[in-house]
């Protein structure tokens, strides 16, 4: 975007992280996550990358193969991440959440189908400037890990950097 272009004040800046890579996207707070995932993949492909180091897995072609995650604590990202996808309840359940009989979920274990919580950053409780982790969907049944490196200024990190530099020179 050239400096002369006006930005829409209703747009949010979201930071998408994988390992040490951060991709900044300008998104509408009410944009669907499917649209945002497509924009993320388009941005990655525009760089000419076929994979994001250190993961040799190829960049997927479908937005459905991108999994997004939210920090457990937006102020302390090193506490971990949780999948953005919230389980959906079947809205045809006529029990009204009464009891948890065989085959029935307890009340409050998910959201109604079509809920805004699974559809947009605004509905998911995100704010302008928030960080969202991403990873690729693994083979069926395989649960992937969140590989997000959070920068810090600890001495341990300096030692790690020195080890990484030495390894890269080999």
Q: For residue 111, is it within any domain?
A: no
Q: For residue 103, is it within any domain?
A: no
Q: For residue 55, is it within any domain?
A: yes
What was the pLDDT predicted at 105?
Answer: 43
Give the count of domains, the chain.
1
Mean pLDDT of all residues belonging to the chain: 79
The secondary element (H helix, E strand) that includes residue 37 is helix 33-46
Share of the chain above pLDDT 90, in %: 47
Q: Which residues contact 26 (CB under 8 A, 6 or more apart)?
A: 1, 7, 11, 12, 13
What was the pLDDT predicted at 46?
Answer: 95
Q: How far is CA 67 from CA 2, 114, 142, 157, in A?
A: 31, 19, 13, 28
What was the pLDDT predicted at 61?
Answer: 93
pTM of the model as a whole: 0.69
What was the pLDDT predicted at 161?
Answer: 73
Q: Which residue has the higher pLDDT, 98 or 167?
A: 167
Residue 20 clears pLDDT 60, i.e. is over it? yes
CATH of the domain at 60: 3.10.20.90
What was the pLDDT predicted at 167?
Answer: 72
Residue 96 clears pLDDT 70, i.e. is over it? no
- Provide mean pLDDT across the span 109-121: 61
Cβ atoms of 101 and 50 within 8 Å: the answer is: no
Q: For residue 1, is it within any domain?
A: no
What was the pLDDT predicted at 60?
Answer: 93
Q: For residue 97, is it within any domain?
A: no
Q: For residue 102, is it within any domain?
A: no
Q: Please report which confidence band the pLDDT of residue 86 belongs to, taking 50, 70 and 90 as the band edges.
A: low
Structural domain of residue 75, as residue ranges? Answer: 12-88+116-169
Q: Which residue has the higher pLDDT, 4 or 145?
A: 145
- Provide mean pLDDT across the span 77-98: 67
What was the pLDDT predicted at 150?
Answer: 87
Q: For residue 147, is it within any domain?
A: yes
Q: For residue 2, is it within any domain?
A: no
């Amino acid at each position: 975007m050239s400096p002369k272009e006006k930005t829409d004040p209703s747009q949010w800046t979201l930071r998408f992280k994988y390992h040490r890579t951060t991709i900044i996207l300008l998104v509408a707070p009410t944009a669907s996550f499917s649209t945002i995932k497509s924009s993320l993949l388009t941005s990655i492909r525009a760089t000419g990358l076929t994979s994001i180091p250190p993961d040799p897995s190829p960049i997927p072609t479908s937005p459905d193969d991108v999994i997004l995650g939210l920090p457990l604590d937006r102020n302390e990202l090193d506490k971990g991440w949780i999948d953005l996808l919230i389980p959906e309840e079947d809205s045809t359940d006529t029990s009204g959440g009464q009891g948890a009989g065989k085959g029935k979920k307890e009340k409050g274990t998910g959201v109604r189908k079509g809920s805004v919580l699974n559809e947009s950053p605004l509905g998911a409780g995100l704010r302008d400037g928030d960080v969202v982790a991403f990873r690729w969907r693994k083979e069926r049944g395989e649960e992937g890990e969140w590989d997000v490196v959070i920068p810090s200024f600890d001495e341990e990190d300096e030692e790690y950097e020195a080890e990484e530099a030495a390894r890269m020179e080999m």
